[in-house]
Amino acid sequence: MKTTRFVVDIDEDALVDLQRRLELTAFSDDLHHDDWVDGMPTAVLQRVVGYWRDHFNWRAAERRINEMPQFRAEVGGLEVHFVHVQGVDENSPALILTHGWPGSFVEMLDLIPRLTDPSNNGLPGFRSFSVVVPSLPGFAFSEAPRRPGTNSRVVASMWHELMQGLGYHHYFAQGGDIGSSVSIWMARLYPQAVRALHLNFISSGYQPPLGKPERPLSPAEAAWRFAREDWMQHEGGYSHVHSTKPQTLAHALVDSPVGLAAWIIEKFFAWSDGKKDLFSRFDIDTLLTNVSLYWFSANVASTLRMYKENAAQPLAFATGERIIPPLCFASYPREIVNPPREWLERVFQVARWSELPAGGHFAALEQPESLAREIHQSFGLFQ
């Protein structure tokens, strides 16, 4: 596999165009002011846009991103962007991290050094990993698919091809959000290569076998399924749109950076842990770096369409089917409806289950040290 070194360098014309659009923003009226009950409040969005327009420095964000060694390679017929950092220890085991929506590889920037050089990043006593962080097809600087069918199963095959091409014939896999379904598919399809899994989220497409001869639902499982359905009814509208008519929404988001920011940042607030103020939960520059990647790629349609592709092929398991590589799971308190352990034990060999004191859906961004420690302790069981 041929890899090419990649450096982020957004064309100046694109920056000028973004600035012009931000200056021409029209804001919606709002009944609830600073309350998020109807979505992102106009007052909060105005503050975000004001900072984006007047203070955010994309070139500084680029410099930070470019501190990480990045590459592109043809994988599965698409040009895939990925970060690849060698571990400091000799023969460091390989680890592939997969992001989701509305995130990107930028979520992992504070996590990566804690994995590749733990001793110099606050985690002494752990062995380093050689870390690969690909951008999902159509996200950031990965080429967007031009035909239907690129779902998590297809991406899992692409990631396995990538790891094999990099010389990693055996590797660990970690993921959240869409990255969890990709990682599960990798373990399902390539059990001889995946040494173990670490997840901080279980995909909504995960469907373990139910009914005889499987055991009945436990009270915790029944309660969780009810809670999940309730969450989908009250918070899952975005997912239904993504899974049914992603192209219609994409037309709006690809033409409006502020609309795109609202669609993305509302999820970062709703699914994260911390104070009620968005700016207390996240570094605004990091949020805007992530949003800007979505904007500059102009491939928002492909990022939304991943939901529709996955809905067409969920992670459904037959009676008696099990995942061979062991699973370690980190349950963060503000995650989207955490499953009970026994729900995962229907398919997985759960080797480690951790319940963390703080954090939400974006664990790599919210709690990089906590997640890094969990990964080290989990995969250390298999080294």
pLDDT score recorded for residue 33? 67
pLDDT score recorded for residue 203? 86
- Quote the domain boundaries for residue 165: 3-382
How large is the average pLDDT for residues 75-103?
A: 98
User: Residue 366 above 80 pLDDT?
Assistant: yes
Q: Residue 109: which CATH number? A: 3.40.50.1820
How large is the average pLDDT for residues 177-199?
A: 98
The torsion angles phi and psi of 125, rounded to 5 degrees, stand at 95, -5
How large is the average pLDDT for residues 138-142?
A: 98
Across the chain, what does the average pLDDT equal? 96
212 or 61, which is more confident: 61
The number of folded domains in the chain is 1
- CA distances from residue 377 to 115, 125, 182 in whole angstroms, order as listed: 11, 10, 22
Instruction: Report the Cα 65 to chain-centroid distance in Å.
Output: 17
User: Residue 34 above 80 pLDDT?
Assistant: no
% helix / strand / coil in the chain, to the nearest 5? 45, 15, 40
156 or 203, which is more confident: 156
**Quick one: angle between helices 257-270 and 246-253, nearest 10?**
120
How large is the average pLDDT for residues 215-231?
A: 95
Helix (H) or strand (E) holding 303: helix 300-312
- Of 184, 186, 152, give the one whose Cα is nearest residue 311: 152
pLDDT band at 212, cuts 50/70/90?
Answer: confident
pLDDT score recorded for residue 52? 99
pLDDT band at 35, cuts 50/70/90?
Answer: confident
Sign, CA dihedral 305-295-359-137, equals: positive
Query: How many helices (DSSP H) and strands (DSSP E) are in the chain?
Result: 16, 11
User: Residue 201 above 90 pLDDT?
Assistant: yes
How large is the average pLDDT for residues 302-317?
A: 97
pLDDT score recorded for residue 207? 95
How large is the average pLDDT for residues 276-303?
A: 95
Instruction: Give catalytic residue positions.
Output: 177, 307, 361
pLDDT score recorded for residue 237? 96
Give this prediction's pTM.
0.96
- Of 139, 107, 100, 134, give the one whose Cα is nearest residue 294: 139
pLDDT band at 15, cuts 50/70/90?
Answer: very high
pLDDT score recorded for residue 274? 84
- Of 149, 206, 152, give the one whose Cα is nearest residue 327: 206
How large is the average pLDDT for residues 162-183?
A: 98
